[in-house]
């Protein structure tokens, strides 16, 4: 399976390594033509304002929207989540696809980065190591969005809307392959079904 990783900036290489460890073929996306033939797409951590500026410059905004709207699984981690969101509370270029309101840098500065165990709906075999680096939170979700994980205080850090998956944290910076494996299973199903019924 060929999975694209948005490679404008940020930790795309770490995602590629996780995908390769699971036997998928990672493929870097920098230009619209790089989206051809992909079974899924990951948008990494990094700086969401930079994603927006570069995506606009390279004519990627509409092609990325069209890709996600085709029903193929699309996953944003951290800055990638911000880039997917409909509302980020300020004026910056995003894809605006996921019906969530996001607050950037919600836990403070780089020095306030932390890790904690997370219970994620649909993820077997116990807690997942959550790595939060100047992470956003999801402040509110629309009706079509399912919350997959919240911290003890109710702060939403993972959600799904049909074929769109979003996590505030960075599974690509852990040794735990389970989130990537889950995403690849969704890509496999979409591939088999020709992207007609992305939800499962």
Minimum distance between the CB of residue 131 and ligand GLN, rounded to whole angstroms? 9
User: Which residue's structure tokens are 């990537």?
Assistant: 180
- The count of other CB atoms within 10 Å of the CB of residue 184 is 21
Q: Which is nearer to ligand GLN, 160 or 170 (CB)?
A: 170
Minimum distance between the CB of residue 24 and ligand GLN, rounded to whole angstroms? 22
Interface with ligand GLN, residue 104, by CB under 6 A: yes
| Calculated CA dihedral for residues 118, 122, 126, 131, nearest 10 degrees | -30
- Ranges within 67-96 binding ligand GLN (CB under 6 A): 78-79, 82
Length of the chain: 200
Task: Tell me which residues are annotated as active site.
Answer: 78, 170, 172
Q: Which is nearer to ligand GLN, 4 or 45 (CB)?
A: 45
Q: Determine the distance from the C-alpha atom of residue 59 to the mean position of all C-alpha atoms in its chain, rounded to a whole number.
A: 20
Those residues with Cβ within 8 angstroms of residue 112's Cβ, 6 or more apart along the chain or in another chain: 134
Binding mask of the shown chain, residues 111 to 150, with x at each position contacting ligand GLN by CB under 6 A: ----------------------xx-x--------------
Percent composition of the chain: helix, strand, coil (DSSP 3-state, to 5): 30, 30, 40
Taking CB under 6 A as the criterion, the residue among 4, 26, 46, 171 binding ligand GLN is 46
Q: Which residues bind ligand GLN (CB under 6 A)?
A: 45-48, 78-79, 82, 104-105, 133-134, 136
């Amino acid at each position: 399976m060929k999975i694209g990783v948005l490679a404008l900036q940020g930790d795309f290489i770490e995602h590629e390594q996780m995908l390769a460890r699971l036997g998928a073929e990672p493929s870097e996306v920098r230009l619209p033509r790089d989206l051809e033939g992909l079974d899924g797409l990951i948008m990494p951590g990094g700086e969401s304002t930079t994603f927006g500026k570069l995506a606009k410059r390279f004519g990627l905004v509409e092609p990325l929207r069209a890709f996600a709207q085709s029903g193929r699984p699309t996953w944003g981690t951290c800055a990638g989540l911000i880039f997917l969101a409909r509302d980020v509370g300020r004026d910056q270029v995003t894809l605006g696809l996921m019906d969530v309101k996001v607050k950037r840098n919600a836990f403070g500065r780089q020095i306030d980065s932390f890790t904690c165990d997370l219970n994620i709906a649909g993820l077997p075999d116990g807690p997942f190591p959550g790595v939060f680096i100047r992470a956003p939170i999801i402040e509110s979700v629309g009706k079509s969005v399912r919350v997959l994980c919240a911290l003890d205080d109710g702060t939403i850090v993972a959600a799904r809307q049909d074929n769109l998956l979003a996590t505030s944290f960075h599974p690509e910076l852990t040794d735990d392959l389970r989130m990537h494996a889950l995403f690849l299973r969704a890509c496999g199903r979409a591939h088999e079904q020709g992207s007609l019924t992305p939800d499962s």
